[in-house]
Amino acid sequence: MQFQLNTDANIQGDDRLAEVAETIVTSSLRHLTSRLTRIEVHLADENAAKGGADDIVCTIEARPEGMQPQTVTHADANVESALRGGAKKIRALLDSEFGKLSRR
């Protein structure tokens, strides 16, 4: 499974952030990694330097084998919280989608 992190100009996407993002997201999806070809994480700061509540937006796109890409978005106050919330949402979505397939 490939992992890719993208950030906007307001979030510094260094190696440390990439490692943290990969750890958070892949640990949440550990039970599904054999069924996924790629995970893309996009982080954006909507308000830039202005600050504000829930201004960090995390969009996660998962690409399951043989299925259409699945995407979720989560906004939170800081990068780590946004990543954790997004990882929780993508896990729930993928568990639901794979569960539907197994019932067929």
β-partners of residue 4 are: 40
Are the C-beta atoms of 58 and 77 separated by less than 8 Å?
A: no
Q: How many Å is the Cα radius of gyration of the chain?
A: 14
Q: Average the pLDDT over 16-33 and give the result.
A: 95
Residue 6 host element (H or E): strand 2-7
Q: Tokens for 32?
A: 């599904």
Q: Please give the model's pTM, rounded to 2 decimal places.
A: 0.91
pLDDT at residue number 28: 95
From residue 84, give the alpha-carbon distance in Å to each of 36, 57, 92, 96. Answer: 19, 11, 12, 18
Q: Average the pLDDT over 79-98 and give the result.
A: 96
Q: Average the pLDDT over 51-78 and give the result.
A: 91
